[in-house]
Structure 1
Amino acid sequence: MKLISAVLANPHCKVEKLWLVECCITDEGCAALASALRSNPEHLRQLDLSGNKLRDSSLKCLSTVLVNYCCKLEKLWLGYCGFTDEGCAALISALRSNPEHLRELDLSGNKLGKFDLRLLAALLANPQCKIEILWLRDCDLTGEGCPALTSAVRSNPSHLRELNLSWNILSKSDVKSLLDLKDDPHCKLERLKYESTTSS
């Protein structure tokens, strides 16, 4: 990771897509990557770190990149990385500071059960937020935050097209208000996945 990071930090490097899926990246490697991207944040458009065991401290390092107004990342995949609600809160806080570029966000498979979905809802409600695809599959989420998500999408309905809430602790009644958005002519939501771990 240090060798790769040295390349990415070079101001002449214009890598736009970086996929490092299941590469056993450690916190130390993620810190080196974040440092490189802080030095040269303008070109990267896609970053996939799925399947690496990144703790909350790694998410906080990455957040220092995302908060930079020169960062124009459009797709960020962090599925099954092992971080918790604390790391997610730092990530969403960074995106709220620089919300204009991201189009896809995958946080699936991380233990976010204690994460306050109202923080994510505040990001989605921002008219500058242009996220089109959001995956929160298998995150131990409950229906408590669904009303906040619904309100956010209603207030900023022009962008979100796909929302995946599958394999969380949700009932159909929890997501009913989100399902209703698909019939709203002002809302762009086309696909809502919510297969639940519960039987209700």
Structure 2
Amino acid sequence: MKMFSSVLDGCELRYQNLSDNSLGEKGVGAFESLLKSQRSLEGLYLINDGISEAAARAVCELIPCTEKLKVLQFHNNMTGDEGAIAISELVKHSPALENVRCSSTRVASEGGVALAEALGTCNNLKKLDLRDNMFALPGCPNLNELNLSYLNLADEGCIVLANALRESATLLKVLEISGNEITAKAAPALPSLITSQRLLIKLNLFENELKDEGVDEIKDMFKALPLCWLHWMIMILKGEDYQESDEDGDENELES
């Protein structure tokens, strides 16, 4: 790793993808000279790298400038709260961020709050993936894709989320909230949320506990939405993959 780093030392890279390596803190240290030389990074990918809290701190300390950074991906690491706090400092100094993925990183409330506060300063953020963690939601007015699956939101969390999104993120195109144990109790909060998202094309409610009662609560919402929205949502509620079709028969079936 040190040899590879030294060969590239001094090269001005726009993207660094170091994913799928067992980096850890020592591995990050091996790339010290390369990371320190980067002042124009637009994308940094550290997916499935065994990034611990110490390794996350090392990454954030070594990169000298993130003003141009647009993509930051830390998926599937052992970052934890302390690592998330370190990442949040990097995020605060990355005003151009558009795409952040910090999913499956073992971050609990303390790190989640720090990261959420930092993300709240990212006015250009368009895509945010925080699944499989326990986070708060920042206000991101330009957000168009949000994945909060498998966070154990439950009914209370779903209602809070619905209220927050109606005010803080009205340009969503994709909303993923599968696997959150949402029941019919939270269903009444969904129609006003969805109808406030005029650009929405995908809503994923798969692996929740809505059942027939919950679906009945939101069926009027389906009637008010364009057919393309209806198709997406019915398929995903049933847990089926959406397959776009131009056949009139499919559309007629949905309309019925």
Residue number among 119, 127, 133 corresponding to 1:37 in the alignment: 119
Q: Does the CA contact (< 8 Å) of 2:141 and 2:170 recur in 1?
A: no
Q: In structure 2, do the counterparts of structure 1 residues 49 and 181 end up closer, same or farther at CA, with 3 Å as the change threshold?
A: farther
Q: In structure 2, do the counterparts of structure 1 residues 9 and 157 end up closer, same or farther at CA, with 3 Å as the change threshold?
A: same
Q: Does the CA contact (< 8 Å) of 2:96 and 2:122 recur in 1?
A: no
Q: In structure 2, do the counterparts of structure 1 residues 180 and 150 end up closer, same or farther at CA, with 3 Å as the change threshold?
A: farther
- Quote how far apart the aligned CAs of 1:150 are: 2.5
Q: Does the CA contact (< 8 Å) of 1:92 and 1:123 recur in 2?
A: yes
Q: Which amino acid aligns with 1:149?
A: I
Q: Which amino acid aligns with 1:21?
A: S
- Select the structure with the greater relative contact order (CA < 8 A; seq sep ≥ 6): 1
Q: Distance in 1 between matches of 2:111 and 2:179?
A: 21
Q: In structure 2, do the counterparts of structure 1 residues 181 and 105 end up closer, same or farther at CA, with 3 Å as the change threshold?
A: farther
Q: Map of 1:173-192 to 2, 5 A cutoff?
A: 182-183=254-255
Asked if residue 49 in structure 1 is aligned to residue 130 in structure 2, the reply is yes
* Residue of structure 2 equivalent to 1:142: 211
Ranges in structure 1 where 5+ consecutive residues have no aligned partner: 168-178, 185-200
Structure 2 length-normalised TM:
0.56
Structure 1 length-normalised TM:
0.70
Q: Distance in 2 between matches of 1:166 and 1:108?
A: 12
Q: In structure 2, do the counterparts of structure 1 residues 28 and 115 end up closer, same or farther at CA, with 3 Å as the change threshold?
A: farther
Partner deviation per Cα, 1:77-125 (whole Å, 9 max, x = no partner): 1111222111111110011224531111111111112542121012223
- Quote how far apart the aligned CAs of 1:182 are: 2.4
Asked if residue 111 in structure 1 is aligned to residue 181 in structure 2, the reply is yes
Q: Map of 1:129-168 to 2, 5 A cutoff?
A: 129-157=198-226, 160=229, 161-163=231-233, 164-166=236-238
Secondary structure at the counterpart of residue 162 of structure 1? helix
Q: In structure 2, do the counterparts of structure 1 residues 51 and 180 end up closer, same or farther at CA, with 3 Å as the change threshold?
A: farther
Partner deviation per Cα, 1:52-86 (whole Å, 9 max, x = no partner): 2x1xxx3xx31xx23xxx62111111111222111
Q: Distance in 2 between matches of 1:75 and 1:100?
A: 11
Aligned length: 159
Partner deviation per Cα, 1:26-61 (whole Å, 9 max, x = no partner): 1111101111122x1311111111222x1xxx3xx3
Q: Does the CA contact (< 8 Å) of 1:125 and 1:153 recur in 2?
A: no
* Residue of structure 2 equivalent to 1:172: none
* Residue of structure 2 equivalent to 1:175: none
Q: Which amino acid aligns with 2:91?
A: L
Residue number among 117, 120, 123 corresponding to 2:190 in the alignment: 120
- Quote how far apart the aligned CAs of 1:165 are: 1.3
* Residue of structure 2 equivalent to 1:91: 161
Q: In structure 2, do the counterparts of structure 1 residues 159 and 93 end up closer, same or farther at CA, with 3 Å as the change threshold?
A: farther
* Residue of structure 1 equivalent to 2:97: 15
Which structure is larger by alpha-carbon Rg, 1 or 2? 2
* Residue of structure 2 equivalent to 1:189: none
Q: In structure 2, do the counterparts of structure 1 residues 180 and 151 end up closer, same or farther at CA, with 3 Å as the change threshold?
A: farther
Instruction: Report percent identity of matched pairs.
Output: 28
